[in-house]
Amino acid sequence: MLKTVYDPEIPVDIYELGLVYKIDVADDGTVNIDMTLTAPNCPAADFIIEDVRQKIESIEGVKAANIQLVFEPEWDKDMMSDEAKLELGFM
């Protein structure tokens, strides 16, 4: 589901960009996600986080999605998948 969430300014999903650091699914149906942004002052931050929350909570069996925005480690382009690097012209 995270592969359907995009930063509006980048044509690659947040998962392939390497913005998702951790996904933990609890037995009670709660999903805890640690993620970051390409920049701490990203103007689309609220939009992206809410999109993640809505899409994860739409999955059958998920009771709640808790999104934790973290900036350690700091994101850089080396965290992107090869597919994302190719799409963005880094390979």
Q: What is the pLDDT of residues 4-23, one digit of tens each?
A: 999 888 999 999 999 999 99
- The predicted model gives 68-81 an average pLDDT of 94
* Model pTM above 0.85: yes
Over the stretch 44-55, which tens digit does the pLDDT of each residue have? 999 999 999 999
**How large is the greatest C-alpha to C-alpha distance in the chain, in angstroms?**
42
Cβ atoms of 15 and 2 within 8 Å: the answer is yes
What is the structure's pLDDT at 42? 87
